[in-house]
Structure 1
Amino acid sequence: MSLQLRPPPQMLPTTDEPVIFGTSAQIAAATGASRIAVQAGFVVLSLAGGFGILLYLVSTLGLRGRQLEPQPPALRSDLGVLALTLGLILELVGRWPGARSELVLPSGLVAVGLVLAWKTAPSRNESSPASFASGSQPIASVLLRVTAGLVLVGTGVAVYLSQQVGLNQLRDAGLALGVAFAGVALIAGPTLFHMLTANSREREQRAREHERAEMAAHLHDSVLQTLTLVQRRAEDPTAVSSLARKQERELRRWLYEQTSSRPTSSWNTELQLCLDELEDLHLIKIEVVTVGDRPFEDRPFDNRTEALLGATREAVTNAAKFSGDPTVSVFSESDQRGITVFVRDRGIGFDPTMVQPDRRGITDSILGRITRAGGSAVIRSETGIGTEIQISLPFDPTAAPRL
């Protein structure tokens, strides 16, 4: 009998996905510019007699199969892409069919407007509850940037049209469009504002639910587990006092100490410290086998790794409390793809589908916790034979878990 919970698939499109071949994303990563800025440059150059389309195809062929070293994002890289785009248009004037000097100013305005407006779109990592809680994109800021971008795009289009038709005709057309847009804004404005505020409230609610789930899982693993041990050892005042002091230190450390104060170590070291503590706490023997390691100098001890350690701790705790086996085996494998942990016992076993709803250890502290971190967990158990819990955490949260 096995029980498995995997992270839900990504349903909504994000700005990180390639539109055609992903060439713009490659160039953006290699230069430190935003992908929207590179795409805007290709679009504007395409207006110069289709030169941008040819440049895109040549870049696609030249970058196929090549791994470029990513650069940190910077505003100057975006400005450099825009300056390069305008410089190419100036060079193409008179040398490339369809490239005209009157395209320089309107093209520049349109490019800047597109970058300013579309750069507000959320990426994959901004879709997490943590980013929602941080308020990195307030509604007022998003509306301001989108409005400014649309104004620049409209100005660029107006400048281009003014070069093709008379000013009187352009003025009349602009006035008519302005009246039409004002009417649409008056009608749809309140509805749009309500949708944006409702979306913001939904994000805040999801963030609060995520924080409550994390806090509930931590309290279950620490305070509730200690209370269970206190009840079992009620006849031993020394053991009860020791458990209370230990739980008090752990709770104070969790409430007041910063995660950044954690000393530089590795995954195997953290795992061994956790298992040593569980051995002393439950008076059992834990056999540990590790293959590979993850130094925290290369990859810091982040919330995802802490979730893996917490899920492993809960699996070992359950085995120590309920399996009846005095020995628990833990096998950990680390490589470039991620970390996989197996927790085995040869105890009484159980049916995962028959667990009572009020028993939150498996559902919240193992399955729920590792799923929120982008990993997966599989529980295999047979009555009278034992239980095996496999917990996998890929380093890339979008990668498929190793099962």
Structure 2
Amino acid sequence: MASKPDDILAQLQVARAAYAKNKPGAREQLLNLGHALVSSLELPSEAIQRMGWAEPARAAHCRIAVDLNVFEHLKESGEHGISAKDLAEKTKADEVLLVRTLKHLAAMNIVAESGADNYIGTRLSNAFTEPKYRDGLIYTYDVAGPSFRDLPEYLKSINYALPTKLTDGPFQAAHKTQLPFFAWLDQNPPYLQIFNNYMSAYRAGKPSWVDPGFYPVSERLVDGFDGSSVLLVDVGGGLGHDLQELRGKHPSLPGKLILQDRAEVISTVSGQSALFEAAAHDFFTPQPVKGARAYYLHSVLHDWGDDDCVRILEQLRPALRPGYSRLLINEIIVPDRNASWPVTSMDQLVFVLGAMGERTQGHWESILQRAGFKVTKIYSYEMGSESLIEAELA
């Protein structure tokens, strides 16, 4: 990507035209170019100010706003907004404190000002009133945040070795625990629910493998389906968000959809019996559903090291019917060069939470080969972060 402002501005014009025509990847390209333009224009002192305290303050103030229901009050106030005085009365917070907080959130384009000390909601702040996005603010600040803030000291303490153990990494150092990330979530139920809820928002609005032009669902799953009961098993599928989307965008799909996850997660799933069946299952044990058309794993394997990934896939292998069943792995594939920030930032997130990392295409192919599978095709979307790896028994 070009680094000079004039070159970036020229590319922005091209991307703008593509965006106007709803071309795939145009929105993401505009975002990437927008970040590049800022980096090409800001002074080093401005970059330090932005990274060092403007953005940390934004994150902290958003977390405070969640606790005080500020975003809800702004949304309820409508187009006329609400004064700092009235907001202070509703939240029981100090008025001066609220003004300073909201002025920074307005400067960072989270909320907007409609007058002196009068504030209105924006598209973004109104979205933060939805539970899935609100929980995203809580999760990223309370759970992931400490791991990032303590990362420099942690790496210094281990002489900059590469952490590779689920029980001994940045997350454990920050949260003073010996539990792996998911076991810690189980021991802290509010954050377990918050995490699972946010997972429904992580991909919201982004290209999905079930969208037209991504993975040919009808051609690869429906065609050739033998009419047996199970079309797809979502292994480690959380609360079933992917299955809801699959059924919603392909309502005439034949066969059953089955959701599998840990018992602690499945116990929180309710009201989806018309869309899919939910069952507790440990994916380190043999897969109980035999001969399904497809077995699907979304952002599961990036939480585990190579050897554990092979173990998980080996438990699936006996369940697949040769020449019929497909293995679908929905994951990030890190390009050899010019990776976008959504890709690199997710690599950093799984690093601080589980001492794991995202993988290149060659890395994925090696893991699948070790587990007894071969890649048939990799499906991607222009400028999308995730790809769908389709594999079958080797």
State the TM-score bracket (shorter-chain normalisation): under 0.3
Computing the radius of gyration from Cα coordinates, the structure with the larger value is 1
Q: TM-score, normalised by structure 2?
A: 0.26
